[in-house]
C-alpha cells in the first residue's frame, strides 16, 4: 500500500463544498432496493463479505433467490478468479436478465459443476432458453481449455445457446491505442498515409466489434425475450464492456448523468475492472506494461458513438465522457484508484480521499456536463454499427491536434438557441399568470 | 410510350440492402418518366418512385429459383435490388429502362415534360430570380478597372463562354480576340471574382496553346492588363491546376505560361487529377459504400484505395491557395487547367466560398453555381450523362465541389446559411433533369434549346422552400460568417460524406437530428416572440389574451423532439443485423401504420412529392435527407393513381 499512500488523491483536499459524499452515492444495497421494487426473484448475498469467495467482487452481489450461498461457493470454484455468475441487469419490460461471470474452468477433460449449472438455470423461466455470449472466438475459447479455462458445453448446458464474438484482449487493444495516437499525431499531411494508419490501428474495428456484441446482448434480451450470460476469460474487461453498453442501449436510466455514474460504479468499479493496471500510462509508455489496456476508454468511445447517433437521448454531453476518460488515467480523486473493491477498502479510500462523484454532483458541474438537447426517451435505442456510422472520437483523439474553436462556437450557439427559447417561454408564462391574477382581482375585467 | 415493353410486373420483390431477409413484395410499373414500385400489404401502401433520368446503370444477374435479380444504380446513389419472377419480364424491364434512362435527344429529357402548373409569367419570374449581372454589381463591377465586354455576344469568340464577360478596362477587342486564338476553345482569360476591398481578382481561362515554344503577344498583353487592373500589386499568380507531370510528358500544342515570356507572373502547379481519374475514384468509393456488411478494415481500406478523399483535399488545397493569395496577399490569380471548365470551375468556386461570406448564403451558393459552373460552360450534359453519350466524358466534378462545401460546413458549423440537405437537393437535381438549369453544356446550347421558355428553374423552387434548407446555427453576424475561412486540410479533417453517398441507407444515419431539433425550437421561439409582441400591443385587452392563452398551452405541451423527429422513435428505430445470422428466429417487425408526419406534401403532384419511405428504420433519418424528388414515397392509399395508370 505504500505506492498508493504517496499518490495525489491522498493529499488532495477539496476546494469545493461537498453536497453529497460520492462514496455513499452508489452502494450495492441501494441499487438492490431498486431491483426489489421490480421483482422478488433475486436476493442480495453476503457470501463474499470478506472477499474470500471472489477477491474481485464487492461484498454484496445479487443472485437468484433460490440459490444458497453454498451453491455460490461451489460455483465460484468453477469460474475464473472465483467470478461466479451474478446479476448485471434486470430488464423491467419483460423480466429478462443479463448476468456476467468469468470463464468456466472446464479444462481439457471437460470438468463440469452441477452448482454452476443450477445457478444459471435458476435465472431461466420454465421452458425458456438463454444465450451465453462468449466474447472470445471459438478458437480462443478452445485454446483456453489447455490453461484450465473453457466454455459451457451444449451437453451440460442444454438450455443455453452459446454465441462466440471476437473482442480482442487487452494487449491487442493497447497496441491499437498506441498506433491510433501515433496516426493522429502524424504530420505528413498525406491522405493515404492517414487512412492506412487509421485502418492499421484497428481502433475502429474494436469499437465496431464491442458495440455489435453489446447490441447482440441487448437484442437477445429485448427482442428474443431471453436471458443472457456474458463472459470472456477473466470477466473483468470485454465482459464489462458488453454488459455496460447493453444497459445504455436498453435502460433509459443509464443515459442520465446520475444513472451513468451508477453504471460506471456497478459495472466497472464494483465489478472489479482493474483500473490501476489498465489505466496506468495510456498511449505514451515506453515500458509497455503488460496489464495496460484502454478497455474503459473503448467503452467510453462506444458510448460516444451511441450519443452521436441519438444526440437527444442522453442527459449528459460528450464532456462528461471526456472527463471520465481523464480521471480514469489521472485524477485528484480516489474513485479510480486500485483494482477492486477489496483493495479500495484496504486503502480506506472513502475516508482518505475524495470521490469524483462528490465533485460531479454539484449544480454548477452538473450544468456543465449536461446535454442541452436532452429529452427523456424511454425507449430502447438501437445504434447502427455500419463502418459508415462509426466515427473517430475527435474530442479525445484529435483534441490537441486541431483547434476546436469553431465547434465550440457551434455548441455555444446551440445552447443560446435553446436558452433563448426557454427565456421566452418563461416570459410568456409569467405574463399569462399576471393576467390571470388581474382577471381574478378585478371583477370588472372579467368577461361575461 | 413506345419504349415501354412491359408497363407492369406483378410479384416483384424489392430487397433491403442492409438486411436482405427484410424484403418487400409488390408491383412494378414503368411509366414514361418513372419506375414505380408499389407495395400493398395488409392495407399499407408504400410506393417507391425512381425517375428514369436518375438511373445510372443496371445489372441483370443470372436467374435463380426465386427469380431474376435486377440491380438499379441511380445517380443520386440510391441502389434498388429487384427480383423479378420471370427471366422474360426482367429482360423486358431491363431493355425498357435502358432506353428510357438514356434519352437520345434533348427533347426526351424530363424537364420538357415536367409541368408544375405555373403560367408563363410565373415561369419568367422563376428564371429571372437569379441575375448574374447583379452579382457583378455586388462585387462593385463595372468600375474603372474592369468593364463588361461585348466581344462574345452571339458566342463569336468562344462558343462555350457566356455572352457577358468582364475584362480589364485596358483590354481592347483585338487583344481579347488575339488571346482567345492562343487558348483552347477560345477560352481567353476573363474575370470570375473581384475583391472590392483590395482590387485583387480571380480570373479563369483555358490553357495556352504554347506547345514547346510558341508565344502570343496579345495573350501576354492580356495578362499584363489583368495585372494592371490590380494597382497595388506588382505581380500575379498563374495557377495551373494540373499535375506537373502531365505537362512534362508533353502533348503537342498544349502547355502552360512560360515565366520568361510573361512579365511579373509567378507560375504555380497544383496537382488535381483529370476527369477520368475522378470518375474511377468515385466508382471505387461507391463500390465500398455498397458492400454488404463490410468490416471496418474493408471500409477504410476501400476508402483509401479509392483515393476519393485525397482528391477532395487537392481541390480544397488549391482553393485555399487562391483565396489566400487574394485575401492575404492582395494578388490577382489566373486559374486554368486544360479546357478551363472542370478543375478551373472547382477551384474558382471553392476559393470564392472561402473568400466571400455571400457565397455561404442560400442565394449566394446558387449564384456561385450559376456563375462559375453553369454560365462558364461546365459540360453538365456530358459530365452528368444526361443522355446517351461518350462514357469517358462522364465525371463527378460538380460532386467534388459540393463535397468541398460540405467538408467546410463540418469545420465551420455556423458559417453557412444553408444545411446539408440543400447540397444534397442540388446534387439530385443536377442529375435529375427535372429543371432546365443543368441541361446542355454551355449557355449557347441552353439558349438554342429555349430552356427558359420550355422548362423550369430549380433556383426559384429552392428559394420558395428555403425553410427546409436553413442551418439553425447560422447567424449573419456570427464571427464564422465573416471574412476569409482558413480551414485545416490535415487529412483527419476530411470525413466520408455518408449523408450523400449512403443517403438511402437509412439505418446508417443518426436516429435523431440536432439540426431538425434546433429548427423546431427556433420555429417555436418565433411564435413566442410574436405572442409576446401581441401581448404587449393589446395590453389589457382580455379577450385577445384568453385567446392566445389557449394557443400557448397547446404549443408548449408538445416536445420539440416530437416535432423535429416527426415519428415515434420506437417505431422508427429497430435493431440492425448484429448477429451475423445467428439468431434465425427473429420475430417479424411489427408493421408501422402510416404516419401522417412522414408524409410531408400529400397535395403535391407526384413529380414534386417530398415524402420518403415508410420503412420502419427510416422515419427519423428521412427528415434529414429528404429531397423534392419523387424517390421513395409513401403515400396515402387514397391518393390518385393517375400518374402511373396512364402508362
Best to test chain A binding among B290, B297, B300, B495 (most A CBs inside 10 Å): B300
Helix (H/G/I), strand (E/B), else coil: B272 = coil
Sign (positive/negative) of CA torsion A60, A62, A66, A72? negative
pTM, 2 dp: 0.91
Q: Which one is predicted more confidently, B411 or A282? A: B411
B222 and B360: one domain? yes
B79 and B135: one domain? no
DSSP codes joined into one string, B88-151? HHHHHHHHHHHHHTS-SSGGGSGGGT------HHHHHHHHHT--HHHHHHHTT-S-SSEEEE-T
Closest among A81, A137, A72, A136 to A105, alpha carbons compared: A81
Q: What gap in Å lies between CA A327 and CA A321, rounded to an integer?
A: 10
B41 and B135: one domain? no
Is 50 exceeded by the pLDDT of residue B592? no
Q: What gap in Å lies between CA B547 and CA B533, rounded to an integer?
A: 14
CB proximity A388 to B under 8 Å: yes
Select the residue of B509, B517, B525 nearest A424 (Cβ to Cβ): B525
Helix (H/G/I), strand (E/B), else coil: B256 = coil
Tell me which chain A residue has its CA closest to the CA of residue B413: A410
CB contacts of A213 in chain B (<8 Å) are 578
Contact at CB, B542 and A224, closer than 8 angstroms:
no
**How far away is chain A from the Cα of B570, in angstroms, using its nearest Cα?**
6
Q: Identify whether B180 is part of a domain.
A: yes
Best to test chain B binding among A210, A218, A388, A448 (most B CBs inside 10 Å): A388
B401 and B479: one domain? yes
Select the residue of B301, B549, B578 nearest A212 (Cβ to Cβ): B578
Is 50 exceeded by the pLDDT of residue B425? yes
Give me the mean pLDDT over the B298-315 stretch.
97
Return the pLDDT at B493. Answer: 96
- Residue B463: domain span: 120-511
Contact at CB, A386 and B507, closer than 8 angstroms:
yes
Tell me which chain B residue has its CA closest to the CA of residue A389: B508
Q: Identify whether B490 is part of a domain.
A: yes
Could you give the ipTM of this predicted complex? 0.94
pLDDT tens by residue, A209-236: 999 999 999 999 999 999 999 999 999 9
Helix (H/G/I), strand (E/B), else coil: B267 = strand
B40 and B131: one domain? no
Select the residue of B514, B525, B570 nearest A379 (Cβ to Cβ): B570
Q: Which of B511, B528, B546 marks a domain boundary?
A: B511
CB contacts of A403 in chain B (<8 Å) are 488
Q: What is the total count of domains within chain B?
A: 2
Q: Which one is predicted more confidently, B369 or B544? A: B369
Return the pLDDT at A30. Answer: 93
What does the mean pLDDT of chain B come to? Answer: 85
Is 80 exceeded by the pLDDT of residue B599? no
CB proximity B588 to A under 8 Å: no
Q: Identify whether B533 is part of a domain.
A: no
Q: What gap in Å lies between CA B509 and CA A310, rounded to an integer?
A: 10
Return the pLDDT at B552. Answer: 41
Q: What gap in Å lies between CA B92 and CA B87, rounded to an integer?
A: 9
Contact at CB, B475 and A413, closer than 8 angstroms:
yes
Return the pLDDT at B607. Answer: 34
End-to-end CA distance of chain A: 81
Closest among A74, A71, A73 to A123, alpha carbons compared: A71
CB contacts of A189 in chain B (<8 Å) are 489-491
CB proximity B300 to A under 8 Å: yes
Is 60 exceeded by the pLDDT of residue B539? no
Tell me which chain A residue has its CA closest to the CA of residue B569: A379
CB proximity B585 to A under 8 Å: yes
Q: Cα B180 to the chain's mean position, in Å?
A: 31
Best to test chain B binding among A191, A314, A383 (most B CBs inside 10 Å): A191
Contact at CB, B561 and A390, closer than 8 angstroms:
no
B97 and B134: one domain? no
Q: Which helix (H) or strand (E) holds B51?
A: strand B44-51
Best to test chain A binding among B501, B510, B586, B621 (most A CBs inside 10 Å): B510
Q: Which of B449, B477, B511 marks a domain boundary?
A: B511
Q: Cα B567 to the chain's mean position, in Å?
A: 28
CB contacts of B575 in chain A (<8 Å) are 215, 218-219, 223, 382
Best to test chain B binding among A377, A384, A413, A447 (most B CBs inside 10 Å): A384
B132 and B83: one domain? no
CB proximity A391 to B under 8 Å: yes
CB contacts of B297 in chain A (<8 Å) are 199, 202, 205
Q: Which residues of B are annotated as a binding site?
A: 274-275, 337-343
Cβ neighbourhood burial of B137 (10 Å; 0-12, 13-18, 19+): exposed
Q: Identify whether B270 is part of a domain.
A: yes
pLDDT band at B595 (very low <50, low <70, confident <90, very high): very low
Interface of B with A in 485-544 (CB under 8 A): 488-496, 498, 502, 505, 507-514, 517-518, 521-522, 524-525, 528-529, 531-532, 535, 540, 542-543
Residue B337: active-site member? yes
Provide, rounded to the nearest whole percent, the portion of chain B with pLDDT above 90: 72
Q: Which one is predicted more confidently, B16 or A32? A: A32
Q: Identify whether B15 is part of a domain.
A: yes
B15 and B73: one domain? yes
Residue ranges for chain A with pLDDT beneath 70 = 1-3, 285-288, 442-448
Tell me which chain B residue has its CA closest to the CA of residue A305: B510
**How far away is chain A from the Cα of B462, in angstroms, using its nearest Cα?**
25
B128 and B81: one domain? no
Tell me which chain A residue has its CA closest to the CA of residue B533: A428
Give φ, ψ of B526 to 5 degrees: -60, -40
Is 50 exceeded by the pLDDT of residue B504? yes
**How far away is chain A from the Cα of B207, in angstroms, using its nearest Cα?**
28
Return the pLDDT at B407. Answer: 98
Contact at CB, A410 and B299, closer than 8 angstroms:
no
**How far away is chain A from the Cα of B584, in angstroms, using its nearest Cα?**
10
Interface of B with A in 448-477 (CB under 8 A): 472-473, 475
Return the pLDDT at B20. Answer: 67
Interface of A with B in 303-322 (CB under 8 A): 308-313
Is 60 exceeded by the pLDDT of residue B618? no
Ranges A374-378, B289-293, B460-464, B585-589: which has the least confidence: B585-589
**Which residues are B39's β-sheet partners?**
B26, B46
pLDDT band at B555 (very low <50, low <70, confident <90, very high): very low
Q: Which residues of B are annotated as a binding site for substrate?
A: 274-275, 337-343
CB contacts of A420 in chain B (<8 Å) are 525
B305 and B439: one domain? yes
Select the residue of A219, A402, A425 nearest B556 (Cβ to Cβ): A425
Is 80 exceeded by the pLDDT of residue B566? no
Contact at CB, B579 and A219, closer than 8 angstroms:
yes
Q: Residue ranges of the alpha helices (H) in B539-614?
A: 542-556, 560-565, 569-572
Q: How far is CA A147 from CA A140, A242, A290, in A?
A: 11, 24, 19
B97 and B128: one domain? no
Give me the mean pLDDT over the B302-326 stretch.
98
Q: What gap in Å lies between CA B532 and CA B527, rounded to an integer?
A: 9
Contact at CB, B304 and A190, closer than 8 angstroms:
no
Instruction: Quickly tell me which residue has 454484496 as its cell.
Output: A60
Give me the mean pLDDT over the B569-598 stretch.
49
pLDDT band at B253 (very low <50, low <70, confident <90, very high): low
Q: What gap in Å lies between CA B289 and CA A22, rounded to an integer?
A: 47
Contacts of residue B166, Cβ cutoff 8 Å, sequence gap at least 6 = B136, B141, B142, B146, B147, B148, B149, B190, B191, B194
Q: What gap in Å lies between CA B299 and CA A199, rounded to an integer?
A: 9
Return the pLDDT at B601. Answer: 31
Do B146 and B166 contact (CB within 8 A), yes or no?
yes
Give φ, ψ of A326 to 5 degrees: -65, -45
Return the pLDDT at A6. Answer: 77
Interface of A with B in 192-231 (CB under 8 A): 192-196, 198-199, 202, 204-205, 207-208, 212-213, 215-216, 218-220, 223-224
Q: How many helices (H) and strands (E) does chain B have?
A: 24, 14
B24 and B142: one domain? no
Is 90 exceeded by the pLDDT of residue B636? no
Q: Which one is predicted more confidently, B607 or A249? A: A249
Closest among B524, B510, B424, B416 to B470, alpha carbons compared: B416
pLDDT tens by residue, B121-169: 999 999 999 999 999 999 999 999 999 999 999 999 999 999 999 999 9
Q: Identify whether B196 is part of a domain.
A: yes
Q: Which one is predicted more confidently, B189 or B606? A: B189
Rounded to 10 degrees, the C-alpha dihedral A442/A444/A446/A448 comes to 160
Q: What gap in Å lies between CA A268 and CA A244, rounded to an integer?
A: 8
CB contacts of B286 in chain A (<8 Å) are none
Do B340 and B184 contact (CB within 8 A), yes or no?
yes
**Which residues are A316's β-sheet partners?**
A370
Return the pLDDT at B582. Answer: 54
pLDDT band at B557 (very low <50, low <70, confident <90, very high): very low
Amino acid at each position: 500500500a505504500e505506492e498508493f499512500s504517496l499518490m495525489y488523491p491522498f493529499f488532495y483536499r477539496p476546494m469545493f463544498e461537498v453536497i453529497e459524499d460520492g462514496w455513499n452515492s452508489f452502494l450495492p444495497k441501494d441499487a438492490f432496493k431498486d431491483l426489489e421494487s421490480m421483482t422478488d426473484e433475486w436476493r442480495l448475498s453476503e457470501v463474499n463479505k470478506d472477499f474470500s469467495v471472489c477477491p474481485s467482487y464487492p461484498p454484496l452481489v445479487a443472485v437468484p433467490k433460490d440459490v444458497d450461498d453454498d451453491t455460490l461457493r461451489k460455483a465460484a470454484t468453477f469460474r475464473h478468479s472465483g467470478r461466479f455468475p451474478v446479476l448485471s441487469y434486470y430488464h423491467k419490460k419483460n423480466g429478462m436478465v443479463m448476468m456476467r461471470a468469468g470463464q468456466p474452468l472446464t479444462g481439457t477433460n471437460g470438468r463440469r459443476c452441477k452448482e454452476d449449472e443450477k445457478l444459471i438455470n435458476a435465472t431461466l423461466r420454465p421452458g425458456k432458453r438463454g444465450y451465453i455470449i462468449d466474447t472470445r472466438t471459438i478458437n480462443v475459447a478452445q485454446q483456453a481449455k489447455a490453461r484450465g479455462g473453457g466454455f459451457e458445453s451444449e451437453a451440460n448446458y442444454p438450455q443455453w445457446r452459446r454465441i462466440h464474438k471476437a473482442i480482442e484482449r487487452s494487449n491487442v487493444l493497447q497496441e491499437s491505442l498506441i498506433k491510433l495516437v501515433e496516426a493522429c499525431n502524424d504530420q505528413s499531411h498525406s491522405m493515404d498515409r492517414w487512412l492506412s494508419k487509421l485502418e492499421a490501428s484497428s481502433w475502429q474495428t474494436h469499437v465496431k466489434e464491442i458495440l455489435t456484441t453489446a447490441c447482440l446482448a441487448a437484442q437477445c434480451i429485448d427482442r428474443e425475450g431471453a436471458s443472457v450470460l456474458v463472459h470472456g476469460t477473466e470477466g473483468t474487461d470485454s465482459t464489462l464492456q458488453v454488459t455496460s453498453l447493453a444497459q445504455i442501449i436498453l435502460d433509459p436510466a443509464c443515459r442520465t448523468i446520475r444513472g451513468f455514474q451508477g453504471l460506471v460504479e456497478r459495472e466497472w468499479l464494483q465489478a472489479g475492472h482493474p483500473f490501476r493496471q489498465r489505466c496506468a500510462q495510456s498511449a505514451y509508455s515506453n515500458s509497455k506494461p503488460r496489464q495496460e489496456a484502454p478497455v474503459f476508454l473503448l467503452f467510453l468511445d462506444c458510448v460516444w458513438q451511441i450519443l452521436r447517433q441519438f444526440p437527444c437521448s442522453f442527459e449528459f454531453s460528450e464532456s462528461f465522457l471526456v472527463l471520465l476518460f481523464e480521471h480514469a488515467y489521472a485524477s485528484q480523486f480516489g474513485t479510480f484508484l486500485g483494482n477492486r473493491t477489496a483493495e479500495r477498502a484496504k486503502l480506506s479510500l472513502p475516508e482518505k480521499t475524495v470521490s469524483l462523484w462528490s465533485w460531479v454532483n454539484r449544480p454548477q458541474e452538473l450544468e456543465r456536463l449536461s446535454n442541452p438537447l436532452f429529452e427523456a426517451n424511454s425507449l430502447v435505442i438501437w445504434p447502427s454499427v455500419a463502418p459508415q456510422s462509426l466515427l473517430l472520437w475527435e474530442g479525445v483523439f484529435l483534441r490537441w491536434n486541431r483547434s476546436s474553436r469553431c465547434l465550440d462556437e457551434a455548441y455555444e450557439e446551440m445552447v443560446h438557441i435553446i436558452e433563448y427559447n426557454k427565456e421566452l417561454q418563461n416570459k410568456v408564462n409569467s405574463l399569462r399568470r399576471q393576467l390571470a391574477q388581474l382577471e381574478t382581482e378585478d371583477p370588472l375585467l372579467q368577461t361575461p | 410510350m413506345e419504349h415501354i415493353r412491359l408497363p407492369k410486373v406483378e410479384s416483384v420483390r424489392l430487397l433491403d440492402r442492409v438486411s436482405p431477409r427484410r424484403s418487400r413484395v409488390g408491383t412494378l410499373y414503368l411509366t414514361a418518366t418513372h419506375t414505380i414500385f408499389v407495395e400493398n400489404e395488409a392495407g399499407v401502401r408504400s410506393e417507391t418512385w425512381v425517375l428514369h433520368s436518375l438511373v445510372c446503370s443496371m445489372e441483370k444477374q443470372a436467374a435463380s429459383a426465386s427469380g431474376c435479380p435486377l440491380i438499379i444504380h441511380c445517380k443520386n446513389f440510391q441502389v434498388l435490388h429487384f427480383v423479378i419472377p420471370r427471366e422474360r419480364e426482367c429482360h423486358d424491364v431491363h431493355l425498357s429502362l435502358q432506353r428510357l434512362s438514356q434519352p437520345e435527344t434533348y427533347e426526351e429529357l424530363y424537364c420538357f415534360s415536367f409541368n408544375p402548373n405555373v403560367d408563363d409569367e410565373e415561369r419568367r419570374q422563376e428564371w429571372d430570380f437569379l441575375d448574374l449581372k447583379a452579382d457583378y454589381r455586388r462585387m462593385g463591377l463595372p468600375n474603372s478597372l474592369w468593364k463588361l465586354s461585348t466581344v462574345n455576344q452571339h458566342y463569336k469568340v468562344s462558343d462555350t463562354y457566356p455572352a457577358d464577360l468582364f475584362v480589364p478596362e485596358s483590354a481592347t477587342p483585338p487583344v481579347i480576340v488575339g488571346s482567345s486564338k492562343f487558348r483552347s476553345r477560345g477560352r481567353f482569360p476573363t474575370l470570375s471574382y473581384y475583391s472590392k476591398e483590395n482590387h485583387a481578382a480571380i480570373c479563369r481561362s483555358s490553357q495556352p496553346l504554347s506547345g514547346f515554344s510558341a508565344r502570343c503577344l496579345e495573350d501576354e498583353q492580356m495578362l499584363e492588363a489583368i495585372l494592371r487592373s490590380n494597382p497595388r500589386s506588382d505581380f500575379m499568380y498563374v495557377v495551373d491546376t494540373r499535375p506537373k507531370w502531365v505537362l512534362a510528358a508533353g502533348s503537342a500544342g498544349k502547355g502552360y505560361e512560360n515565366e520568361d515570356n510573361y512579365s511579373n507572373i509567378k507560375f504555380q502547379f497544383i496537382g488535381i487529377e483529370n476527369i477520368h481519374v475522378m470518375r474511377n475514384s468515385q466508382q471505387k468509393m461507391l463500390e465500398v459504400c455498397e458492400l454488404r456488411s463490410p468490416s471496418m478494415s474493408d471500409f477504410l481500406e476501400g476508402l483509401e484505395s479509392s483515393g476519393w478523399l485525397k482528391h477532395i483535399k487537392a481541390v480544397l488545397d488549391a482553393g485555399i491557395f487562391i483565396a489566400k493569395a487574394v485575401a492575404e496577399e492582395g494578388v490577382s490569380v489566373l486559374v486554368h487547367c486544360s479546357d478551363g471548365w472542370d478543375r478551373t470551375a472547382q477551384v474558382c468556386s471553392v476559393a470564392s466560398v472561402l473568400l466571400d461570406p455571400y457565397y455561404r448564403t442560400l442565394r449566394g451558393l446558387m449564384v456561385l453555381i450559376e456563375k462559375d459552373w453553369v454560365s462558364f460552360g461546365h459540360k453538365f450534359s456530358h459530365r452528368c450523362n444526361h443522355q446517351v453519350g461518350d462514357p469517358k466524358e462522364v465525371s463527378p466534378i460538380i460532386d467534388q465541389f459540393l463535397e468541398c462545401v460540405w467538408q467546410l460546413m463540418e469545420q465551420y458549423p455556423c458559417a453557412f446559411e444553408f444545411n446539408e440537405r440543400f447540397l444534397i437537393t442540388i446534387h439530385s437535381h443536377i442529375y435529375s433533369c427535372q429543371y432546365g438549369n443543368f441541361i446542355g453544356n454551355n449557355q449557347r446550347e441552353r439558349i438554342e434549346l429555349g430552356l427558359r421558355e420550355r422548362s423550369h428553374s430549380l433556383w426559384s423552387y429552392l428559394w420558395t422552400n428555403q425553410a427546409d434548407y436553413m442551418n439553425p446555427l447560422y447567424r449573419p453576424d456570427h464571427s464564422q460568417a465573416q471574412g476569409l475561412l482558413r480551414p485545416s486540410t490535415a487529412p483527419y479533417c476530411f470525413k466520408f460524406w455518408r449523408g450523400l453517398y449512403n443517403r438511402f441507407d437509412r439505418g446508417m444515419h443518426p436516429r435523431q437530428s440536432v439540426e431538425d431539433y434546433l429548427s423546431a425550437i427556433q420555429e417555436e421561439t418565433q411564435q413566442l416572440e410574436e405572442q409576446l409582441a401581441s401581448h404587449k400591443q393589446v395590453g389589457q385587452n382580455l379577450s385577445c389574451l384568453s385567446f392566445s392563452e389557449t394557443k400557448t398551452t397547446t404549443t408548449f405541451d408538445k416536445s420539440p423532439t416530437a416535432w423535429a423527429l416527426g415519428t415515434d422513435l420506437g417505431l422508427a428505430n429497430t435493431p440492425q443485423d448484429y448477429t451475423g445470422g445467428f439468431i434465425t428466429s427473429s420475430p417479424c417487425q411489427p408493421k408501422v401504420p402510416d404516419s401522417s408526419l412522414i408524409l410531408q406534401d400529400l397535395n403535391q403532384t407526384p413529380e414534386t412529392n417530398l415524402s420518403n419511405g415508410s420503412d420502419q428504420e427510416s422515419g427519423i433519418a428521412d427528415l434529414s435527407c429528404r429531397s423534392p424528388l419523387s424517390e421513395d414515397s409513401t403515400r396515402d392509399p387514397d391518393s390518385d393513381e393517375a400518374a402511373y395508370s396512364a402508362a
